């Protein structure tokens, strides 16, 4: 099975539900369910039109025939690799880097640092700070994305899966991250920071890693994104793949009839 959605902006199929942000779909780690490479190839051949299927994380059926190419890279942290010791993890950094980190963290702590966990209403502050910092480059600038994340937060909260982490410095909210814990994996989904506190993004990311070690979480997933800090934090890269099927002709009457029937039914 491959779950498809017609994406009007791109004039092609993508993984359901197919939202776009600056030409990229948001959903990561997509899977095409197939029992063999032959079935996998047959599924791709029967996609009724042009398609771009991104962020595929299962490469066992990918071959030269599927025309799969490297897409983006996700980044993971495995606390077990360090014996669930945050101090052991810090030894991966050079002495100079650890000293710089310590100096930066101490500067933030000077104003009075505390953490607030799982305060649902702090998510609205996360959206506000993210939009304030990135404006039209924010994920949430598109109202569809904002609504989808609000719905996601509500769904996760109702099922006890939501994790909200808030950093408070000098009585002010300095950073908020939203994530979810499921099957031993903590996924950091989105975040926002207060521009009055430089370095707080680094602080909250270290907090996620330290807490994961304390709770003996199997994996922390920081998702994709071209952010240099992920490499600097010695996270484990995970390549994801992309398949582009451009053989179908949009002007083909059979394709258009199939598409009309699909949306009608």
Q: Is the pLDDT of residue 196 over 70?
A: yes
DSSP strand E in the chain: where?
4-7, 12-15, 20-21, 24-25, 51-56, 68-77, 113-117, 162-169, 172-182, 185-193, 219-224, 236-245
Q: Tell whether 120 and 170 lie within a shared domain.
A: yes
pLDDT at res. 59: 61
Q: Is the pLDDT of residue 85 over 70?
A: yes
8 A C-beta contact, residue 75 and residue 237: yes
CB atoms within 10 A of CB 79: 24
8 A C-beta contact, residue 178 and residue 191: yes
CATH number at residue 97: 3.40.630.30
Q: 61's torsion region: left (phi>0), alpha (psi -120 to 50) or beta?
A: alpha
Mean pLDDT for the chain overall: 87
2-11, 37-46, 78-87, 224-233: which is most confident:
78-87
pLDDT at res. 246: 62
Q: Tell whether 176 and 208 lie within a shared domain.
A: yes
Q: Tell whether 205 and 251 lie within a shared domain.
A: no
Q: Tell whether 69 and 83 lie within a shared domain.
A: no
19 confidence band (pLDDT: 50, 70, 90): low
Number of domains in the chain: 2
Q: Which of 149, 142, 208, 152 is nearest to 175 (CA)?
A: 208
pLDDT at res. 20: 67
* Structural domain harbouring 110: 79-217
Percent of the chain scoring above 70 in pLDDT:
85
Q: Tell whether 42 and 140 lie within a shared domain.
A: no
Q: Tell whether 24 and 124 lie within a shared domain.
A: no
Distance CA 27, CA 71 (A): 13
pLDDT at res. 247: 56
pLDDT at res. 156: 97
Distance CA 223, CA 29 (A): 9
Q: Which of 15, 95, 13, 96 is nearest to 56 (CA)?
A: 15
61 confidence band (pLDDT: 50, 70, 90): low
Using a cut of 0.75, tell me whether the model's pTM lies above it: yes
Q: Is the pLDDT of residue 213 over 70?
A: yes
Considering the domain boundaries, does residue 230 fall inside one? no
Q: Is the pLDDT of residue 228 over 70?
A: yes
Query: What are the φ and ψ backbone dihedral angles of 20, each rounded to 5 degrees?
Result: -120, 145
Between the alpha carbon of residue 104 and those of residues 110, 232, 264, the distances in Å are 10, 16, 58
Provide the 8-state DSSP code for 63. -
pLDDT at res. 264: 40
Q: Tell whether 53 and 161 lie within a shared domain.
A: no
Distance CA 203, CA 206 (A): 5
66 confidence band (pLDDT: 50, 70, 90): low
Distance CA 34, CA 243 (A): 15
Is 131 or 32 the better-scoring residue by pLDDT? 131
3-17, 26-40, 173-187: which is most confident:
173-187
Considering the domain boundaries, does residue 227 fall inside one? no
Averaged over 78-93, what is the pLDDT? 97
Q: Tell whether 84 and 213 lie within a shared domain.
A: yes
Considering the domain boundaries, does residue 233 fall inside one? no
Q: Tell whether 86 and 67 lie within a shared domain.
A: no
């Amino acid at each position: 099975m491959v779950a498809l959605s017609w994406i009007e902006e791109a004039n092609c199929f993508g993984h359901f539900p197919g939202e776009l942000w600056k030409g990229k779909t948001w959903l990561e780690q997509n899977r095409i369910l197939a029992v063999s490479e032959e079935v996998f190839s047959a599924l791709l051949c029967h996609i009724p039109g042009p398609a771009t299927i991104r962020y595929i994380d299962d490469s066992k059926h990918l071959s030269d025939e599927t025309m799969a190419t490297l897409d983006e890279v996700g980044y993971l942290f495995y606390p077990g690799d360090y014996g669930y010791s945050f101090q052991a993890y810090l030894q991966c950094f050079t002495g100079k880097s650890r000293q710089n980190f310590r100096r930066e963290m101490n500067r933030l702590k000077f104003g009075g640092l505390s953490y607030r966990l799982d305060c649902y209403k702090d998510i609205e502050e996360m959206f506000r700070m993210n939009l304030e910092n990135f404006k039209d480059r924010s994920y949430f600038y598109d109202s569809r994305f904002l609504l989808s994340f609000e719905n996601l937060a509500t769904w996760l909260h109702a099922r006890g899966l939501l994790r909200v982490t808030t950093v408070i410095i000098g009585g002010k909210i300095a950073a908020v991250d939203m994530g979810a814990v499921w099957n031993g994996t903590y996924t950091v989904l989105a975040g926002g920071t207060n521009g009055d506190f430089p370095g707080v993004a680094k602080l909250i990311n270290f907090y996620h890693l330290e807490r994961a070690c304390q709770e003996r979480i199997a994996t922390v997933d920081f998702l994709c994104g071209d952010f240099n800090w992920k490499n600097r934090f010695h996270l484990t890269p995970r390549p994801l793949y992309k398949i582009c099927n451009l053989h179908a002709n949009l002007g083909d009457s059979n394709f258009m009839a199939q598409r009309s029937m699909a949306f009608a039914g």
